[in-house]
Structure 1
Amino acid sequence: MKIDFSGKTALVTASTGGIGFAIARELAASGAAVILNGRSEESVAKATRKLQDAVPGAKLQGAAANLQDATGVDNLLKQLPAVDILVNNAGIYGPQDFYETDDATWENYWQTNVMSGVRLSRALLPAMTKQGWGRVVFISSESSRNIPADMIHYGVTKTAQLALARGLAKYVAGTGVTVNSVLPGPTISDGFATMMKDEAERTGKSLETLAKEFVMAHRPSSVIQRAASVEEVANMVVYICSQQASATSGAALRVDGGVVDDIL
């Protein structure tokens, strides 16, 4: 199977690091012109240079914008050319006791994790449907189906993304545009590396070992019994954006290593 995005332009939100950067890199390596997004001009410029080194000759554009509110999304939209592929990767997460999670925190998570995708989809889908081809992907989480007790506010927003993606898939039915969700589980990302930095220095253990220990302690239902790499998540996203995946829409595709213990 040869995936070729020549002539396609992809926007990957929050793509200066982690899963987002891996997705952007693999899309660029498959021929797409890629728009990198991050909160600051500095982070976007740094990621653009890094991706250019990784994929020589890649067609790249940087677009700095904070997507936590409507103003930030509007700022991003003003910087965009026509977009064929939208990957809604922007999101925030973090544990917090339910009783101590105030309205402002709930609103911040909702605006960033859900409404950024609503606003971008509302703006970019019409052109996709008009041309008869497009891809929209929401990067959700296994937490959308396995709500963590210590991150209820986060899990709720991730479940909302599944409903949004399914509804949009039905809304654009028959147009040649597909809308899907991808659900990563524990992943060795930049965020995980930062979280485990002190532990790695203290124990001398590799990130892979620490990630495996985390999975076995906190996600023991994992079938692969390790964390995924960002590349493994990106591979699923690249496939679902491809022409080869044209018969898949409205799906919630798990890259969680089997953490969610069911057969669907």
Structure 2
Amino acid sequence: MHIDLSSRTAIVSGSTAGIGLAIAQGLAGAGAHVVVNGRTQARVDEALATIRQAVPQAKLTGVAADLGTATGAAQLIAVMPEADILVNNLGIFEPKPFFEIPDEDWQRFFEVNVLSGVRLSRHYAQGMAQRGWGRIQFISSESGVQIPVEMVHYGMSKAAQLAVSRGLAETLAGTGVTVNAILPGPTRSEGVNEFIAKIAAGRGVPAEQVEREFIATERPSSLIKRLATVEEVASLSVYLASEQASATTGAAVRVDGGVVRSIV
């Protein structure tokens, strides 16, 4: 199967590292004009250089804006008023016991992980519908289905993304615009690497040992028994952005290594 996105413009929020960067690179490799986003120009420039090294012919635009705020969303929209593909990847996570999570953290997680995608989708979906083609994705998580006790606020935000994704798909029925959620499992992203490295340093053990123990104790239902790679997640995203995925919409598609113990 050959995926050709050479006539499409794609926006990937939070795409300077991890899953977002891998998705941006994958879309660029398929020929799309990709808008790379991060909070600082330095991070955006670094990501652009990384993608160009891997995909020399990449068509790229960089936009430095904090999409966890309404002001940041407006800045991006002003630079790029239309898009064919929107990947709502921006997200934050932080392990914290439930009784230690203050109101401010609940609000921050909802603002960044949920409202960022709501704001962008509210704008870009209308143009997609008018043109009769579009792809919107929410990068949720298996944590939206199996709420992790170590970060309930994160799980809440990922479950909310599933609701928004399905509701928007229903709203756009018959328009030629598909809306899907992607549910990665534990993935070797920049944030996860830092999390594991911090634990490893504190215990004086190799990071590989911490990773194995995490999967064994915190995600024992994993069928691959390892962290997924960002490239494995990005491959699903690129497919769902393609013409070939035109009949897949309103779905929560898992790339979780089998962590969720369900056949549907």
- TM-score interval (norm. to shorter): over 0.9
The alpha-carbon deviation at position 213 of structure 1 amounts to: 3.2
Q: Is the 8 A contact 1:200 1:210 kept in 2?
A: no
Question: What is the CA–CA distance in structure 1 between the aligned matches of 2:212 and 2:257, rounded to whole Å?
Answer: 12
- Residue aligned with 2:79, SS: coil
Task: Work out whether residues 188 and 228 of structure 1, in 8 Å CA contact, stay in contact via their aligned partners in 2.
Answer: yes
Q: Please tell me whether the aligned partners of residues 93 and 154 of structure 1 are also in contact (alpha carbons under 8 angstroms).
A: yes
Residue 81 of structure 1 deviates from its aligned partner by 4.6
CA offset at residue 205 of structure 1? 5.4
1:52-101 per-residue CA deviation (whole Å, 9 max, x = no partner) reads 11100100000011122211211121111521000000011111121221
1:156 equivalent to 2:156? Answer: yes
Alignment of 1:1-264 (within 5 A): 1-198=1-198, 199=200, 202-204=204-206, 206=208, 210-264=210-264
Q: Which amino acid aligns with 1:193?
A: N
Deviations for 1:151-187, whole angstroms, at most 9, x for unmatched residues? 1111111001000000000100001000000000111
Partner Cα distance (2:126, 2:85) in 1: 13
The answer to whether the 8 A contact 2:95-2:150 is kept is: yes
| Equivalent residue letter for 2:251 | A
Q: Deviation per CA, 1:95-127, whole angstroms, max 9, x where unpaired?
A: 112122111111111111111111000110111
Identity within the alignment, %: 52
Amino acid of the structure 2 residue aligned with 1:194: E
CA distance in 2, matches of 1:94, 1:195: 9
- Shift in Å, 1:211: 2.9
Report Cα offsets for 1:228-257 as digits up to 9, x if no partner.
100000011111111111000000001111
Q: Aligned partner of 2:122: which letter?
A: R
Runs of at least 5 residues in structure 2 that lack an aligned partner in the other structure = none
Measure the CA separation in 1 of the matches of 2:210 and 2:2: 35
After alignment, is 117-126 or 197-206 more displaced? 197-206
Q: Tell me the distance in 1 between the aligned counterparts of 2:98 and 2:23.
A: 32
> What is the distance in 2 between the residues matched to 1:216 and 1:205?
14
Change (3 A) 1:29 1:200: farther
Q: Whole-Å Cα distance in 2 between the matches of residues 123 and 205 of structure 1?
A: 42
* Partners of 1:133 and 1:177 within 8 A in 2: yes
Distance in 2, matches of 1:89 and 1:56, equals: 24
Q: Which is further off, 196-205 or 172-181? A: 196-205
Q: Distance in 2 between matches of 1:205 and 1:156?
A: 28
Distance 2:67 2:253 in 1: 24
Residues in 2 aligned to 1:27 and 1:211: alpha-carbon distance in whole angstroms? 29
| In 1, Cα distance between equivalents of 2:255 and 2:213 | 19
The TM-score, its normalising length taken from structure 1, stands at 0.95
- Secondary structure in 2 matching 1:178: strand
SS at the partner of 1:73?
A: helix
Tell me the distance in 1 between the aligned counterparts of 2:207 and 2:96: 27
The answer on whether the counterparts of 1:222 and 1:257 sit within 8 Å (CA) in structure 2 is yes
Say whether the 8 Å CA contact 2:196–2:207 is kept in structure 1: no
Paired residues of 2:135 and 2:178 also in contact (CA < 8 A) = yes
Q: Does the 8 Å CA contact 1:183/1:254 hold for their aligned counterparts?
A: yes
